[in-house]
Each structure stands twice: as C-alpha cells, then as structure tokens.
Structure 1
C-alpha cells in the first residue's frame, strides 16, 4: 500500500467511517435482489416466461404481487439514493472536513438509508418519509460542502 494512500485514507478516521458505512449500505442494496427472488418463488410471481416454465405451475407471466413489488420499489429507491450518497460521501472525505462532524454526518446518512429500507418494506409512515428526508439532507449537505471546497 502506498504511503499516500495510507496518509489520505488508512490513517483518516473520516475515511474509515465512510468505508464502513459504504460497506453496510452496499451490503443492504445487495440483499434486495435475493429478497425479490425469494418472494417471487414463494408467491409464484414471475416476470419472465422462462422463469414461469421452470419454477411455477402457472401457465403465464404474473405481475402485481404487492410483496414482490414493494421490495422492488425499495431496491429501486436504494439505487436512486444510495449511489449518490456514497459517491458524494467519497468526495466529501476529500475535502478534509472537521472529523467529529463528518463522522456523524456520514453515519446519519447510512443509518437513514438502512432505516428507510426497513420502513419501506414494512409500510411504516412517517418513519419512511423522515428517514428519506434525513438521507436527502445529508446528501445535499455533503454536495454543498464539496461544491464550496472545489469551486
């Protein structure tokens, strides 16, 4: 490992927290695909002919199972919101922010996304909305800090 990498990231508490939170967030995103598949198998709801022929007793494609669709929507929401959060988070780390604030901002963003997914899967409002606002606020805050630093 290069000395530059160690100085920039390995010895940097903010980067370590960012890396951990990004790992958790990516892990959460990766869980959503198998969860969709499990629910499709359980409910016999398949979107492709070949899947119907292989895994179902049904004779045609079936859409609209609410449990499958809820997981798919939560997964899509993750892709739309977690990827920007993680991307801007990396750039935010490069701005050398004040460590205690940065660590808490990054943790809040990751926690908000985990809570959002749990709330989405269970239909819990207003928790889903509030966690979405926190995650969006964190992303907006880090974006502003990055823009101001690199302008």
Structure 2
C-alpha cells in the first residue's frame, strides 16, 4: 500500500471543515426555532407555528454561509487531496491546509456577523491558499518528473 505522508493532515482538515459546517447547521436550526419562522409547513407544524414566506435575516445568513461552503470547500478538498496523492510534504500541508481551515472558520464568523471588508479579505485569503496549493502541486510534479 502506498504511503502518503500528508494524508493525516488532509483527514484532520476534512474533519475540521465538517465540524465547522455542522456547527453552522446547528446555529441555523437554533436560530430558526428562536425566530419561530418556518418556510415549510411540516417544519412549522413541528414547532406549532404558521408557515411564513421568508425566514429571519440571520437564518438566511446561515444559509448563505452554507451555500458559500458548498461552493468553495470542494475545490480546496480536491486540491488538498491532489497534493497528498503527489506525495506532498507534511510540513507544507500543515501550513497550507491549516491556514485554509482557520481562514474558513474566521470567514464563517465574520459572515454571520456581517463584517465587511473582513468577509471579502478572508474569502480572498482562502483563494490565495488554494492557489498556493496549486503551486505546491506543480512544483511537486516537476520534482517527481525531474
């Protein structure tokens, strides 16, 4: 079986991002019940409430965080896994993957609080880390081929 030195760092990053997404979901559910505003009749019935046309602004913000994660995390995970599969160095993986995870946690916090320009800065920082992973993959492949 092949040995991938950075695999454990990838797995830890994946788990940390899963925890973040799960926390966001729990916050959304709690906020929905606190606001007592439910779009779906079955959800409203569960809470003994009347369905509404729109959810609270904070619940919508939670949904936006979730959507942003769904749009961005797959790219990071594919890049990170590619880095692992080309035999990337664990130290580099720790720095890059750890940075990305911390940036995404911070991004979620500022997104939920509606803090600009920090949300944009953190989003762009996460993209920059992804591009650094791309560069690390290219350098690793050049090293392998050379």
Tell me: CA distance 1:146–1:48, structure 2 relative to 1, closer, same or farther (3 Å). same
The corresponding residue for 2:86 is 95
Distance 2:94 2:46 in 1: 48
Pairwise CA distance, 1:144: 4.7
The corresponding residue for 2:111 is 120
Tell me: CA distance 1:95–1:42, structure 2 relative to 1, closer, same or farther (3 Å). same
Flag structure 2 segments of 5+ consecutive residues without an equivalent. none
Contact 1:108 1:134 in 2 (8 A): no
- Could you tell me which of 21, 42, 48 is aligned with 1:29? 21
Distance 1:99 1:17 in 2: 7
Contact 2:80 2:133 in 1 (8 A): yes
2:51 matches 1:74: no
Question: With structure 2 as the length reference, what TM-score do the two structures score?
Answer: 0.83
Contact 2:9 2:94 in 1 (8 A): yes
Distance 2:90 2:31 in 1: 42
2:115 matches 1:107: no
Pairwise CA distance, 1:69: 0.5
Question: With structure 1 as the length reference, what TM-score do the two structures score?
Answer: 0.81
Aligned length: 142
2:82 matches 1:52: no
RMSD: 2.2
Secondary structure class of the residue paired with 1:134: helix
Flag structure 1 segments of 5+ consecutive residues without an equivalent. none
Contact 1:47 1:61 in 2 (8 A): yes
Distance 2:47 2:53 in 1: 12
